[in-house]
Structures are given as structure tokens and as C-alpha cells.
Amino acid sequence: MIENQIHARIEAITAQVLPNQAPENTPTPYLLYTVLDAEPQRTLNGMVALTKYTVGIEAWADSLNECNSLLAQVRSQLDRYQGGDIHRAFCTDPGRGEQADQGFYKVSTYTVWATDTTVGPSIRGTGTTYANSNAEFSHTVLLPSAQDGDTQVVVFRTTDANPTATGWTNTSMGNDLWAMHKAYTAGNDVTINLDADNPLKATAFTLIGQFTVDASASATTTSTTAHAAPAVTSTTTSGIMFVSLSTQASNHTHTYPVGLTGVSAGPGGNKLSTCYEPITATGSTGTRTFTTSITTNAETGTILFKPAV
């Protein structure tokens, strides 16, 4: 995955180099890297093994000067870099610094052209998150950017027995975990309606291309720090799989399965994390294991999408 190669390129710059978002109360300094967009390249004969990625590198520190120093080191390692699957990386926006409650931050943007050793489905940008612990009849979830021909997916957790959204296909993974999807039409949010007042946590993604559900499953874990999302049986060589972990405990953090990228919704101990990966073989996908920073009970789910043909 391109994220692994970017991490390897910049991991020596500072002690903490993290994907997507930092856990609560992470001490500065640290770097975050996020794939903001992925555009598989196409010809008249179909897809080719080349993708144009837009990558954000975010520096957090106690001063703007320290942010600038971190990103200058990133630029020395990544700008015009060529190696591995990366054909070439370019810094397209050095960014500008801002001050936040927890310190200073600055984001630089890179365009990375890379070869995909296995051409498969891609996520457009990163996911968005929603968390509302209030009991309400409806929840409006902001969606990531999408284009004509894309598929929008929302993975969420609610104890409601019959969540619905107009125009969306809903799939129960079991154990209060759900996934909705639809072909993109217009709009940048979705309202999920419930039969009763209930809280809801959600993660949302955009798939490049048209997809439908291939398989899904759920599981529960008890009094452990290791939480395996169950295997499903794939019937496709061009699928994309989402695995989720939902916990409700005292303040803690989630660690994603090794090698996977994802997003997390929810403050403190009431969390939902969802990761994704391409699936390029039929048969059992195997399990994917999250870890939590404390011993707790959890719900896990897996849903696999295949091309809609």
C-alpha cells in the first residue's frame, strides 16, 4: 500500500509518525500522513497499473518554527522521490501554519504517482466520521466527496432495529453494526432515520466505481484487548472490504489491524473504527484484528463489496 511506503520514507524524522489521525492527548511533536484522494488511471482499454494519489502531511508541534522544520525534513525525503512503487512524488502545496488549542500545525500536500502491483478498487480520499451520543430519531452524516460513477458507503453502529435512509440499500452485519450504500447522485450528506431515539456512530467512504455487497458478518469479543473482525467468503477478485470495531468503555484507544488504513468516530471510550483494504482473491478473506488499549468487550463486523456488473 502507498501509505506504507510513505511511512517508511518519513518515519525517521520524528518519534511519532501516524496515519490519518492521532489518538487523543498525543504529545507533540508528531507527523500525520493521509491519502486524500486516489485516481486510478484509465485508457480506452480499461484501467492501468498507475494511480495518482493526493497525500497530506501534517506536522503538529509546540511552535510554528518546529512545524516548519518537520515539514522541511519531510520535503527533503519525499519531494521528487522515486523508488519502490512510487514513480515520482512532488510537493504541490507547502501549506501555511495555524494555531490550535493543542499547539501549532501545518499541512503540506503532495502528488504521488505510484504503480499498483494489483489493480483493484480504490477509496476516493479518506473517510468522514460522525458520532452523536444523544438519543435522537434521525442523524445526518457528512459524506466524503464523490463523483458520478462512484459508490457511497456508510458503516455505522446503532441499537435501533430498523435504520433507514431514502435511496440507500441497508445491510445488517449483526450485533448492532450496519452498512448502507448507494450510487452517487448529488448531495454531501445522508440522514439516517431510526424507529426510536437512539445514539449513532458512523464512518463514511466513497468507492471509485459501482459496487454491491458480496458478503458480511459480525462477531463479539469479551474482556480482551484483541478483537478479530470475522472472515467472509469472497466471490470476487476486484473487491474492497471494510472491517469495523465498536467499543463502549472507559477512555481508551483503538489500534487498526496491521497494514490497514481507516478512520475512527467517537470521543473517549465510545468509539467506532473502520478500516478498508482491496480484496483480490476469491475464498476466505481471513480475520483482521484490532487492539484496544484496555481490556473491554466489543463488536466487530466485516462487509465486502464487489463490482456491480
Q: What percent of the chain has pLDDT over 70?
A: 94
Mind listing the pLDDT tens digit for each residue in 167-194? 999 999 998 999 999 999 888 899 999 9
Q: Is the pLDDT of residue 297 over 50?
A: yes
Beta partners for residue 284, in sequence order: 233
Q: Which of 25, 31, 20 is nearest to 66 (CA)?
A: 31
Furthest CA-CA distance within the chain:
55
- Residue type present at position 153: V
Q: Is the pLDDT of residue 226 over 90?
A: yes
Give the chain's domains with CATH numbers. Answer: 2-114 (3.30.2000.10), 128-307 (no CATH)
- Residue type present at position 90: F
Cβ-contact 146, 204 below 8 angstroms: no
Confidence tier at 48 by pLDDT (50, 70, 90) = low
Q: Is the peptide bond before 29 cis (omega within 30 degrees of 0)?
A: yes
Mind listing the pLDDT tens digit for each residue in 110-156? 999 987 544 445 787 677 888 887 888 999 999 988 888 889 999 99
